[in-house]
């Protein structure tokens, strides 16, 4: 069998010496025609492979270049060099894949994140992105572990859908009709989607929530974890056109239950990453500390990455209503001195990222759960409160990125839901399947959505969301 190998991480964690091993990986550097720094992606740390002078053919050694993929076998011995306990004294070296060192884009030097985005297919081989995507992997596993331990059913909701869960209208259309103007038309000149593949107008999903509600009416506790899409022309460090969402939906939960579940969930997955990716997070913490040093003093974060994560998992999130938040923002020196780009002048405004971050980073200095928002700025399915002005919605705001979770208790009362849909011009006939959950055995229920990439951003300390998803999709970019 060809692939009998030991991973670099396993070798470096083991203090044993004087045994045979085979490793495979990519060359990070080759010094003095003798010392190969080999990495296989299992850890940021390289294994030193020693090619003793005179033991190998020059034609082989010339092919040991930065970026080349090699297989090396030999004895694991105690290392005399600094920084590693063991090294591999090679008895054989095989080139699995050549790399032209002069053309290889990842030279052994520091590269900017902007440059690495242009070569996203190779950036996995850097220490920064190796750490980021191992942490992303752990967080994804922890999400399934959290819900599985609590008896939730994992539900795959459709990626192609005929409904707009958010009512936002910023969707990617899915069609097989020709785009050259020859698509069949209705009498009024509009496209006749009855002739399309699905016999109706369809889009890429913006959320699995509505379908998740249907499943919760049978299984009680469900969650989704899948890709979602927004055709929003946002060129920011916080937005993507394709991203992943986790959306639990729980029958018999009210708003407080929903907040408790979300807080427990966030703490659990962060704690899991801290336990299983300690070295990666320490590397990213060091990277972030160096980045912070470049900023003016007043813009630097008060906590380092590890300190921030410890603080989040060990403290209760601050809980307050939208109304209380508006009063804090209105009365803040920041607002009075006109430092907000969007002044806070009245109740009912939609909070911007700068307002959310002020509450989290300046005022409370910890994650915040805001609840009971004005109904006019929230979706049709959120449960209306008795005051007639607000809905039982909740958002969790995190330091550095603002909103990380959005959720609500859902409106289970058929008449009130129908009335709200009419007010928001959502056609009831198209949503008849959704209304059935209120007609036949409806119950109080609640759920939330967590943007996975924002969570990865928060845990890794990366400042641009395009650096925490393997191949980012944003306006004017769908490379790779």
Least confident piece of the model among 64-78, 164-178, 183-197, 306-320: 164-178
Q: Which CATH number fits domain 8-105: 3.30.70.140, 2.40.50.140, 3.90.550.10, 1.10.300.10?
A: 2.40.50.140
276 pLDDT exceeds 80?
yes
Which is higher by pLDDT, 476 or 401? 476
Domain boundaries, the chain: 8-105, 125-171+206-467
Digit-coded pLDDT (tens) for 219-259? 999 999 999 999 988 888 888 999 999 999 999 999 999 99
What pLDDT does residue 107 have?
Answer: 83
Average pLDDT score, the chain: 93
Residues 262-266: contacts with CB within 8 Å, 24+ apart? 262/369, 262/394, 262/396, 262/405, 262/407, 262/448, 262/450, 263/316, 263/317, 263/369, 263/396, 265/143, 265/146, 265/450, 266/312, 266/367, 266/396, 266/404, 266/405, 266/450, 266/455
Can you give the pLDDT at residue 270?
97
Using CA atoms, how far apart are residues 174 and 199, in angstroms rounded to an integer?
A: 12
pTM above 0.75, yes or no: yes
* Interval 408-424 mean pLDDT: 95
pLDDT digits (tens, 9 = 90+) for 131-174: 999 999 999 999 999 999 999 999 999 999 987 655 556 899 99
Nearby residues of 405 by Cβ (< 8 Å), 6 or more positions away: 262, 266, 394, 395, 396, 448, 449, 450
pLDDT of residue 168: 55
Tokens of 132: 């980021």
Start-to-end Cα distance in the chain:
33
Q: Quote the distance between the C-alpha of residue 415 and its chain's center.
A: 37
* Per-residue pLDDT reduced to its tens digit, 65-92: 999 999 999 999 999 877 789 999 999 9
Residue 406 CA to residue 403 CA, distance in Å, equals 7
Cα gap 407→254, rounded to integer Å:
11
Each residue of 39-54: pLDDT tens digit? Answer: 999 999 999 999 999 8
Mean pLDDT check: name the lowest of 7-21, 193-207, 290-304: 290-304
Neighbours of 23 (CB within 10 A): 23
Strand order in the sheet with 153-154: 153-154, 221-229, 242-251, 445-451, 402-409, 390-398, 368-374, 318-321
Cβ distance 348 to 374 under 8 Å? yes
Residue 382 bridge partners (DSSP)? 410
Residues 172/159, Cβ–Cβ less than 8 Å: no
Section 435-464 average pLDDT: 96
- The pLDDT of residue 169 is 60
* Confidence (pLDDT) at 117: 93
Residue % of the chain over a pLDDT of 90: 84
Asked if 203 and 164 touch (Cβ cutoff 8 Å), the reply is yes
SS (H, E, C) 319-343: EEEHHHHHHHHHHCHHHHCCCCCCC
125-171+206-467: CATH topology? BirA Bifunctional Protein; domain 2 (3.30.930)
CA distance 246 to 265: 11
Give the pLDDT of residue 302: 77
> CA 456, CA 395: separation in Å to the nearest integer?
18
Nearest CA among 461, 349, 450 for reference residue 403: 450
Instruction: Give the model's confidence band at 377: pLDDT under 50 very low, under 70 low, under 90 confident, else very high.
Output: very high
Across 356-370, average pLDDT? 92
CB neighbour burial string for 237-276, b if at least 16 within 10 angstroms, e if fewer? ebbbbbbbbbbbbbbebebeebbebbbebbbbbbbbbbeb
- Count how many residues are written for the chain: 480
């Amino acid at each position: 069998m060809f692939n009998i190998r030991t991973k670099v991480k396993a070798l470096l964690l083991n203090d044993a010496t004087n045994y045979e091993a085979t490793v495979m990986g990519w060359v990070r550097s080759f010094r003095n025609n003798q010392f190969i720094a080999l990495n296989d992606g299992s850890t940021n740390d390289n294994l030193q492979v020693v090619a003793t002078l005179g033991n190998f053919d020059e034609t082989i050694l010339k092919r040991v270049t930065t970026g080349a993929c090699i297989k090396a076998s030999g004895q694991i011995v105690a290392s005399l060099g600094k920084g590693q306990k063991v090294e591999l004294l090679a008895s054989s070296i095989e080139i699995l894949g050549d790399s032209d060192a002069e053309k290889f884009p990842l030279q052994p030097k520091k590269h900017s994140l902007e440059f690495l985005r242009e070569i996203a297919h190779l950036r996995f081989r850097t220490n920064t992105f190796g750490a980021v995507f191992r942490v992303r992997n752990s967080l994804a596993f922890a999400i399934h572990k959290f819900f599985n331990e609590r008896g939730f059913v994992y539900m795959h909701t459709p990626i192609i859908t005929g409904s707009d869960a958010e009512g936002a209208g910023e969707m990617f259309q899915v069609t097989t009709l020709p785009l050259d103007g020859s698509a069949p038309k209705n009498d009024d000149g509009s496209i006749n989607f009855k002739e399309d593949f699905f016999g109706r107008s369809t889009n890429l999903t913006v959320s699995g929530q509505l379908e998740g509600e249907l499943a919760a009416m049978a299984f009680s506790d469900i969650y989704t974890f899948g890709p979602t899409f927004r055709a929003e022309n946002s060129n920011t460090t916080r937005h993507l056109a394709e991203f992943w969402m986790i959306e639990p939906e729980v029958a018999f939960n009210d708003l407080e239950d929903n907040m408790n579940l979300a807080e427990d969930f966030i703490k659990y997955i962060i704690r899991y990453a801290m336990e299983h990716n300690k070295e990666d997070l320490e590397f990213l913490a060091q990277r972030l500390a160096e980045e912070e040093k470049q900023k003016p003093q007043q813009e630097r974060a008060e906590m380092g990455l590890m300190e921030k994560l410890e603080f989040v998992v060990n403290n209760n999130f601050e809980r307050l209503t939208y109304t209380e938040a508006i009063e804090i923002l209105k009365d803040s020196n920041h607002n009075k001195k006109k430092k907000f780009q969007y002044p806070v002048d009245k109740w009912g405004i939609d909070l911007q990222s700068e307002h959310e971050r002020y509450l989290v980073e300046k005022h409370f200095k910890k994650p915040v759960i805001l609840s009971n928002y004005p109904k006019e700025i929230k979706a049709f399915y959120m449960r209306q409160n008795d005051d007639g002005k607000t809905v039982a919605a909740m958002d969790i705001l995190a330091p550095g990125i603002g909103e990380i979770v959005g959720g609500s208790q859902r409106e289970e009362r058929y008449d009130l839901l129908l009335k709200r849909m009419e007010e928001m011009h959502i056609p009831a006939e198209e949503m008849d399947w959704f209304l059935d959950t209120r007609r036949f055995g409806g119950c109080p229920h609640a759920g939330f959505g967590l943007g996975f990439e924002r969570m990865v951003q928060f845990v890794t300390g990366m400042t641009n969301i395009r650096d925490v998803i393997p191949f980012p999709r944003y306006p004017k970019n769908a490379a790779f």
